[in-house]
Protein backbone atom coordinates (compact mmCIF):
# COMPACT_ATOMS: atom_id res chain seq x y z
CA UNK A 1 0.00 0.00 0.00
CA UNK A 2 1.29 3.43 -0.84
CA UNK A 3 -0.49 6.67 -1.47
CA UNK A 4 1.26 8.75 -4.08
CA UNK A 5 3.28 11.74 -2.96
CA UNK A 6 0.78 13.95 -4.78
CA UNK A 7 -1.31 13.96 -1.60
CA UNK A 8 1.39 15.35 0.68
CA UNK A 9 2.54 17.66 -2.11
CA UNK A 10 -1.01 19.02 -2.39
CA UNK A 11 -1.23 19.60 1.39
CA UNK A 12 2.14 21.39 1.28
CA UNK A 13 0.98 23.54 -1.66
CA UNK A 14 -2.23 24.52 0.10
CA UNK A 15 -0.39 25.47 3.28
CA UNK A 16 1.96 27.65 1.22
CA UNK A 17 -0.93 29.32 -0.57
CA UNK A 18 -2.48 30.32 2.74
CA UNK A 19 0.71 31.23 4.58
CA UNK A 20 2.42 33.17 1.77
CA UNK A 21 -0.61 34.38 -0.20
CA UNK A 22 -0.77 37.75 1.56
CA UNK A 23 2.95 38.38 1.09
CA UNK A 24 3.60 37.37 -2.51
CA UNK A 25 2.25 35.76 -5.64
CA UNK A 26 2.19 32.03 -5.04
CA UNK A 27 3.25 30.67 -8.41
CA UNK A 28 4.09 27.14 -9.48
CA UNK A 29 7.77 28.10 -9.54
CA UNK A 30 7.58 29.37 -5.96
CA UNK A 31 5.70 26.23 -4.89
CA UNK A 32 8.24 24.08 -6.69
CA UNK A 33 10.99 25.70 -4.65
CA UNK A 34 9.15 25.07 -1.39
CA UNK A 35 8.07 21.50 -2.12
CA UNK A 36 11.19 20.37 -3.96
CA UNK A 37 8.89 19.01 -6.67
CA UNK A 38 9.22 19.84 -10.36
CA UNK A 39 7.06 22.83 -11.38
CA UNK A 40 5.29 20.72 -14.02
CA UNK A 41 4.09 18.34 -11.31
CA UNK A 42 3.09 21.29 -9.12
CA UNK A 43 1.01 22.68 -12.00
CA UNK A 44 -0.61 19.26 -12.45
CA UNK A 45 -1.52 19.10 -8.75
CA UNK A 46 -2.83 22.68 -8.88
CA UNK A 47 -4.96 21.76 -11.87
CA UNK A 48 -6.47 18.84 -9.97
CA UNK A 49 -7.12 21.05 -6.93
CA UNK A 50 -8.71 23.63 -9.20
CA UNK A 51 -10.97 21.01 -10.79
CA UNK A 52 -12.08 20.01 -7.29
CA UNK A 53 -12.93 23.64 -6.45
CA UNK A 54 -10.24 23.90 -3.78
CA UNK A 55 -8.02 26.50 -5.47
CA UNK A 56 -8.34 29.14 -8.13
CA UNK A 57 -5.48 30.09 -10.41
CA UNK A 58 -4.82 32.87 -12.84
CA UNK A 59 -2.72 32.35 -15.94
CA UNK A 60 0.51 34.25 -16.14
CA UNK A 61 1.56 36.04 -13.00
CA UNK A 62 -1.66 35.75 -11.01
CA UNK A 63 -0.63 32.87 -8.79
CA UNK A 64 -2.81 30.46 -6.85
CA UNK A 65 -5.47 31.26 -4.25
CA UNK A 66 -7.71 29.18 -2.02
CA UNK A 67 -11.24 28.93 -3.40
CA UNK A 68 -12.71 27.82 -0.07
CA UNK A 69 -12.17 28.68 3.57
CA UNK A 70 -9.54 26.55 5.31
CA UNK A 71 -12.12 25.01 7.63
CA UNK A 72 -14.17 23.93 4.62
CA UNK A 73 -11.36 21.81 3.17
CA UNK A 74 -10.60 18.43 4.71
CA UNK A 75 -7.61 16.21 4.10
CA UNK A 76 -10.10 13.80 2.53
CA UNK A 77 -11.12 16.47 0.01
CA UNK A 78 -7.47 16.88 -0.95
CA UNK A 79 -6.89 13.12 -1.04
CA UNK A 80 -9.80 12.64 -3.44
CA UNK A 81 -8.90 15.69 -5.54
CA UNK A 82 -5.44 14.45 -6.45
CA UNK A 83 -6.46 10.86 -7.18
CA UNK A 84 -4.14 9.25 -4.67
CA UNK A 85 -5.72 5.84 -5.09
CA UNK A 86 -7.76 4.24 -7.82
CA UNK A 87 -11.28 2.87 -7.52
CA UNK A 88 -9.96 -0.43 -6.15
CA UNK A 89 -8.89 1.33 -2.97
CA UNK A 90 -5.74 1.41 -0.89
CA UNK A 91 -5.13 -2.32 -0.82
CA UNK A 92 -4.49 -4.13 -4.07
CA UNK A 93 -4.74 -7.86 -3.80
CA UNK A 94 -3.08 -10.30 -6.14
CA UNK A 95 -5.69 -11.16 -8.73
CA UNK A 96 -5.61 -14.92 -9.01
CA UNK A 97 -4.96 -16.76 -5.76
CA UNK A 98 -4.83 -20.50 -6.33
CA UNK A 99 -8.30 -21.96 -5.76
CA UNK A 100 -6.72 -25.38 -5.22
CA UNK A 101 -4.87 -24.07 -2.18
CA UNK A 102 -6.93 -23.79 1.03
CA UNK A 103 -5.36 -20.40 1.80
CA UNK A 104 -5.69 -19.19 -1.79
CA UNK A 105 -9.38 -20.00 -2.05
CA UNK A 106 -10.18 -18.32 1.29
CA UNK A 107 -7.80 -15.39 1.59
CA UNK A 108 -10.26 -12.86 0.16
CA UNK A 109 -13.01 -14.00 2.54
CA UNK A 110 -10.64 -13.53 5.48
CA UNK A 111 -9.03 -10.22 4.54
CA UNK A 112 -11.32 -8.18 2.29
CA UNK A 113 -13.63 -6.99 5.07
CA UNK A 114 -10.74 -6.13 7.36
CA UNK A 115 -8.95 -4.18 4.66
CA UNK A 116 -12.14 -2.31 3.75
CA UNK A 117 -12.59 -1.40 7.43
CA UNK A 118 -8.99 -0.18 7.62
CA UNK A 119 -9.50 2.01 4.57
CA UNK A 120 -12.74 3.39 6.01
CA UNK A 121 -10.97 4.24 9.28
CA UNK A 122 -8.14 5.95 7.41
CA UNK A 123 -10.57 7.97 5.30
CA UNK A 124 -12.55 8.84 8.43
CA UNK A 125 -9.42 10.35 9.95
CA UNK A 126 -8.85 12.40 6.80
CA UNK A 127 -12.47 13.59 6.85
CA UNK A 128 -12.04 14.70 10.47
CA UNK A 129 -8.99 16.86 9.80
CA UNK A 130 -9.36 20.26 8.18
CA UNK A 131 -6.76 22.25 6.34
CA UNK A 132 -7.36 24.93 9.00
CA UNK A 133 -5.93 22.56 11.62
CA UNK A 134 -2.88 21.76 9.49
CA UNK A 135 -2.19 25.42 8.67
CA UNK A 136 -2.67 26.43 12.31
CA UNK A 137 -0.15 23.82 13.45
CA UNK A 138 2.25 24.89 10.69
CA UNK A 139 2.00 28.56 11.68
CA UNK A 140 2.59 27.65 15.33
CA UNK A 141 5.72 25.66 14.53
CA UNK A 142 7.03 28.45 12.26
CA UNK A 143 6.51 31.03 15.02
CA UNK A 144 8.46 28.85 17.47
CA UNK A 145 11.51 28.68 15.19
Is residue 80 situated within a structural domain?
yes
Is residue 82 situated within a structural domain?
yes
pLDDT greater at residue 120 or residue 58: 120
How many domains would you assign to the chain? 1
* Mean of pLDDT values over 107-125: 93
What is the number of alpha carbons within 13 Å of residue 32 lying toward its C-beta? 11
CATH of the domain at 82: 1.10.10.10
| Amino acid 144: pLDDT | 95
Nearest to 63 by CA among 91, 25, 93, 99: 25
Whether 86 has a pLDDT exceeding 80, the answer reads no
Is residue 24 situated within a structural domain?
yes
* Mean of pLDDT values over 22-45: 95
d(CA 130, CA 72): 7
pTM: 0.87
Is residue 1 situated within a structural domain?
no
Is residue 16 situated within a structural domain?
yes
Is residue 32 situated within a structural domain?
yes
Tell me how crowded residue 82 is: count the other CB atoms within 10 A of its CB. 25
Is residue 89 situated within a structural domain?
yes
Whether 61 has a pLDDT exceeding 90, the answer reads no
- Per the rule left: phi > 0, alpha: psi between -120 and 50, beta: everything else, 141 is alpha
Is residue 101 situated within a structural domain?
yes
Whether 88 has a pLDDT exceeding 90, the answer reads no
Whether 87 has a pLDDT exceeding 80, the answer reads no
| Amino acid 85: pLDDT | 73
Tell me how crowded residue 11 is: count the other CB atoms within 10 A of its CB. 20
The domain containing residue 107 runs over which residues?
A: 6-144
Amino acid sequence: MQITSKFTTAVHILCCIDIFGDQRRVTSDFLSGSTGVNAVIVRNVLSQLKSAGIVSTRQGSGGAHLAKALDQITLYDIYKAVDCVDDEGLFHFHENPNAECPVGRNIHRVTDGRLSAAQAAFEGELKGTTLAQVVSDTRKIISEE
